[in-house]
Chains A and B, each alone.
Chain A
Amino acid sequence: MKISKTVSSLMFLPFLLFFILFWMVPFLYGLYVSFHSWTVSGGNNGFVGLDNYIRILSPGNMYHDSFMNALGNTLYFVVISLVPLVVFALLLALLIENIPGKLKVFFRTVFFISYAVSVTAVSAIFKWLFTGNGGYINNVLEGFGLDSIGWLNNQPYAWIAVLAATVWWTIGYNMILFVNALDEVDASLYEAASLDGANAWERFWNVTFPSIKGVFVFVTIITVIASFNLYGQTLLITEGGPARSTMSLTMIIQNTIFSQNNLGMGSAMAILMGIIMVFITLVQFLIGFRKDDNA
């Protein structure tokens, strides 16, 4: 069926409208606010140019200290969460692909269902599991004659707790994307590889991975973005501690805007965070394409 350009334009119009209304306008407004001294309650107190950005990027003030601390924490979490959330999700998908049909549906559902749980519930469960005094994990450790650990008030244990909660909560989503990609791989390629005497690893590396590479890059990008937006887990499980070591960028921005009543500074932080995320995503994108060209 061929549709006219006018009709297709009309069908595109609702998306355009909502894109402008709920993305473009807030973004541009946020950018505008970031160049002003602006409070949540008092509104605009005047144009300050790049002052907010300069203060965030210049050492020796609390905005710089808190932003840089949170940026470091967030990047650390992005790094430590990438392998479990992408590679483990792929391994899980491969595992599910190689089990009989009915069990496949069952396990696919089981692994995905945690994604439907709210971050509040997930955080409550993991906070209980990892509580230092009388928590479930420590009780198990003590049952084996091991010393208990102050999971939530010492590093690196606090990050381990946050990471465990995040992986349990979200790995199912990435896994589903990989399962769907694996379903699309041409079975005849595996047969050809087997005839050529390829072992399991060679089949994966030469057949499976090239076939799902696009999805792999996509999953990596959305995982980095999701990890960058770390908020609920650290807010509810560790409250940003110990000693602000799990304070994420989103927590700092939220605190600057609503607790310190400084919308201008918070908006500048959010814009900087966005620029950093765009840069990292662009690098991932370029790396993904470069490898495609070489292939």
Chain B
Amino acid sequence: MKKLLMGTLLSSAVLLAACGNGDTGTTTDSEEIPEEAADATVIRFLNGFTGGDGAFMKEIVDNFNDSQDEYFVNESQEPEHYTQFRTGDYELVVMHGVNLETYSADGLIQPVDGILEDVGMSINDFHPAAEDLVGLEDGNYGIPLDIHPLTTFYNKNLTEEAPETYEDLVTLSAELQAENENMYAMGIPDSGLIEFYTLTLAAQNNVDLLSEDGRYLDFAQEDLADALWILHDMIYEDNISPAGLGIDGEFHAFMQDTEGDSGGNQTAVALTGPWYYQAVSDAYGDDLGIGSIPQLGDQVAVYGNSHVISLAASVEDEAMLEGISAFMEFMYQPENLSNWAASGQAPLHTETMNYIEENADEYPLPYQNQQMFDDYVAAPAVYQFGEQIRYMNETVIGRIVREENLTREELMEELENATGVAQEIADTAPNQ
């Protein structure tokens, strides 16, 4: 019996050991490392490209791995890749531009200036908009990949050209409703992509959201209330958008067919994310038009998020850094980075932008979106940007869009609440 007891305890010990932490180099690899790359330096590259664009990034990675045998890029595409990055071991990570301030403050990423230098590039090899995206106090914290701005899709059957101004939208909506009361110029969602609308309207109305001390987003501004009230007017005053569109309503309304069985309200134009390109392209084919964002405020401006490639703070090994430089040098060749443009994303790399311009027919969406880079306004660089703006996205904009009888006083009160939350989030930054 004692032997049996000892055997059980031993088995348990083995089980416990198996459950424990292993080598810190262990990763959640998305692919097997091939035998021929057994001696290669493995670069763990994490991104969140789990949608249609994932295949295009994979092609770049595969092409790099096939092009040499000294390094092997082991790519992981994860839906919760930020959580993976915080808790796992990776050398390279694709981040959204708005998250750079947070991840640098948390000590998770490091400047990439050394990599850029090794590759023979500088921030000047990118569109000027890139500087605001990746430049923090002590260096550039990412190699700019793309900007995915708010994008205008339009149905050529309903409008010959993309509307350029607020007045164009009013006219278009009136014309459409004269034919069918369920048709509108465009749709305003009450959540989802609404952050893009908020920041675009702020930029078009010259509202600076950054607080005086540069720590938090200051929403409690009369000018911002004026800018956001445009959304209310578009629905309840000028009948540009139907009321009651929910999450991603701008996209769903654009995809409606009022003459078919789907019912509901249809719009001629969608101001939405470029990631919907494949869906709208499949639905409309040659009848799909792509335009620039209309001017809804005092000036032309557009907001969108961006992807950048960042270097984990833990990377110090020279061989690893050389491998990363080699990968970046390969990726930032127009013939390779154009693979990323083929996914519909608009790269910021100047040579690749030139390549896209020369082949505009092949890359219609990136070509159109890179036209807007000159008017691009980046989000303020604050700690936990997404959390600071969360109350705006989840509560304030929803009230503007849903509540016809909302008053300006109520809106200002909500903007003050949103600022309060942003301040509290800013206070959680390290070294506060």
Nearest A residue to B265 via CB reads A133
B106 contacts A41, CB within 8 Å? yes
B409-420 CB mask vs A (1 if < 8 Å, else 0) is 000000000001
Contact partner of B107 (CB less than 8 A), chosen from A21, A42, A240, is: A42
Would you call A133 and B428 a contact (CB within 8 A)?
no
Best-buried of A40, A133, A259 by chain B (most CB within 10 Å): A133
Q: Are A62 and B421 in contact, with the CB atoms below 8 A?
A: yes
Given contacts A39-B106, A134-B264, contact A259 B247 (CB under 8 A): no
**For this complex, into which size category does the number of interface residues on chain B fall?**
35 or more
In the complex with contacts A21-B16, A239-B191, A6-B394 CB distance below 8 A = no
Bound CA span A139–B262, Å: 7
Total inter-chain residue pairs, C-beta < 8 Å: 113
Q: What CA separation (Å) do A142 and B263 show in the bound complex? A: 8
User: Which residue of chain A has the shortest Cβ distance to B397 in the bound complex?
Assistant: A243
Question: B5 near A153 (CB under 8 angstroms)?
Answer: no
Structural contact, B190 and A134, CB atoms closer than 8 A = no
Find residues 90-109 in chain B having any chain A CB closer than 8 Å to their own CB.
102, 106-108
- Give the distance to chain B from A67, nearest Cβ to Cβ, in Å: 14
B394 engages A10 (CB within 8 Å): no
* B252 neighbours in A (Cβ, 8 Å): 131, 133-134
* Nearest chain A residue, comparing its CB with the CB of B395: A243
Q: What's the minimum C-beta distance from B358 to chain A, rounded to whole angstroms?
A: 40
* Inter-chain contact A150/B106, CB cutoff 8 Å: no
Which residue from chain B places its CB closest to the CB of A258 in the assembled complex?
Answer: B83
Instruction: Name the residue of chain A whose CB is nearest to the CB of B420.
Output: A62
Q: In this assembly, does A154 line the interface, its C-beta being within 8 Å of a C-beta of chain B? A: yes
Identify which of residues 181-233 in chain A touch chain B, using a CB-to-CB cut-off of 8 Å. Answer: none
Q: How far is the CB of B249 from chain A (nearest CB, A)?
A: 6
Q: Is the CB of B430 within 8 A of A42?
A: yes
Residues of A within 8 A of B (CB): 6, 10, 13-14, 17, 21, 39-42, 61-62, 131-135, 138-139, 142, 148, 150, 152-154, 238-244, 258-262
Please name all residues of chain A whose beta carbon is closer than 8 Å to the beta carbon of B265 when the two chains form the complex.
133-134
Given A41-B107, A240-B394, A258-B86, 7 extra CB contacts under 8 A: A62-B421, A139-B261, A154-B244, A241-B247, A242-B398, A261-B384, A261-B428
Nearest Cβ on chain B to A266's Cβ, whole angstroms: 12
Q: Is B264 touching A244 in the complex (CB atoms < 8 A)?
A: no
Question: With A62-B425, A133-B245, A139-B263 as given contacts, are A259 and B387 in contact (CB-CB < 8 Å)?
Answer: yes
The interface residues of chain A lying within 8 Å CB-to-CB of B424 are 61-62
User: Which residues on the B side are within 8 Å of A242 (C-beta)?
Assistant: 190-191, 398, 402
- The answer to whether the Cβ of B253 comes within 8 Å of any Cβ in the partner chain is yes
A78–B176 CA distance with the chains assembled, in angstroms: 46
**Across-interface contacts of A142 in B (CB, < 8 A):** 263
Say yes or no: A260-B428 contact (C-beta < 8 A), given A10-B5, A134-B264. yes
B256 interface hit (Cβ, 8 Å): yes
Q: Which one of B107, B108, B246, B387 contacts A132 once the chains associate, using CB atoms below 8 Å?
A: B246
The yes or no answer to B8 lying at the interface (CB within 8 A) is yes
The contact sample of 28 A-B pairs, CB cut-off 8 A, is A6-B1, A13-B8, A13-B12, A17-B12, A21-B16, A40-B87, A41-B87, A42-B107, A42-B430, A62-B424, A62-B425, A132-B249, A133-B244, A134-B262, A134-B263, A139-B261, A150-B402, A153-B246, A153-B247, A241-B191, A242-B190, A243-B394, A243-B398, A244-B394, A258-B83, A260-B428, A261-B102, A261-B428
Find B402's partner among A39, A154, A238 (CB 8 Å cutoff): A154
Which residues from chain A contact B108 at a C-beta distance below 8 Å? 41
Which chain B residues in 236-289 approach chain A with CB under 8 Å?
Answer: 242, 244-247, 249, 252-253, 256, 261-265
Name the CB-closest residue of A to B249. A133
CB atoms of A261 and B86 under 8 A apart: yes
Residues of chain B lying within 8 A (CB to CB) of residue A10: 4-5, 8
Known: A42-B106, A241-B191. A131 touches B394 (CB 8 A): no
Determine which of B242, B253, B395 lies in contact with A244 in the assembled complex, contact meaning CB atoms within 8 Å.
B395
* Residues of chain A within 8 A of B83, CB atoms compared: 40, 258
Q: Are B107 and A133 in contact (CB under 8 A)?
A: no
Shortest Cβ gap from B236 to chain A (Å)? 15
Q: Please name the 8 residue pairs, one residue from A and one from B, whose CB atoms are nearest each other, closest first.
A: A134-B264, A150-B244, A153-B246, A133-B264, A41-B86, A139-B263, A134-B262, A62-B424
B244 contacts A153, C-beta separation under 8 Å: yes
Contact flags (1/0) for B1-14 with A, using CB distance below 8 Å? 10011001000100
Cα separation A134 to B247 with both chains bound (whole Å): 13
Give Cα distance in the complex from A148 to B108, angstroms. 49
B17 proximal to A (CB < 8 A): no
